[in-house]
Amino acid sequence: MLKKRLISTIASCLLLVLVLVNILLMLGNQSLQNEVGERQQAIGQAMQLETLHRQVITVLAEMAMKTDDAQLKELLTASGFNVSPMPGLRPSSK
């Protein structure tokens, strides 16, 4: 009788420890999932902004070439963008 009681007590304690470990792992997993979700959101926003940035730079480069604006060309060049005339675009006379 004592042996059965001892075995059931040990099994109960082991089960309790396993449940606690499971809870801790679940909480850790949830925090990692939240972090991954935040990173995915940041990546998505960055991709949307990249498209917008490309469009802005393209428009600025086109305006710099159409108006032959030296300051705008210098700004683009200083920012690391190569401004070269595109075929079919001629600077307008001022």
Residue-number span of the structural domain to which 54 is assigned: 2-78
The two structure tokens encoding residue 20: 């606690």
Residue 94 lies in a domain: no
Report how far apart, in Å, the C-alpha atoms of 88 and of each of 6, 57, 62 are: 91, 19, 11
Residue 61 lies in a domain: yes
Domain count, the chain: 1
Residue 86 lies in a domain: no
Instruction: Tell which wins on pLDDT, 1 or 32.
Output: 32
- For the stretch 34-61, pLDDT in tens is 999 999 999 999 999 999 999 999 999 9
Whole-structure pTM over 0.85, yes or no? no
Task: For residues 75 and 81, give the distance between their C-alpha atoms in angstroms, rounded to a whole number.
Answer: 9
Residue 25 lies in a domain: yes
Residue 54 lies in a domain: yes
Residue 89 lies in a domain: no
Whether the per-residue pLDDT at 92 is higher than 70: the answer is: no
Q: Which residue has the tokens 């309790």?
A: 16
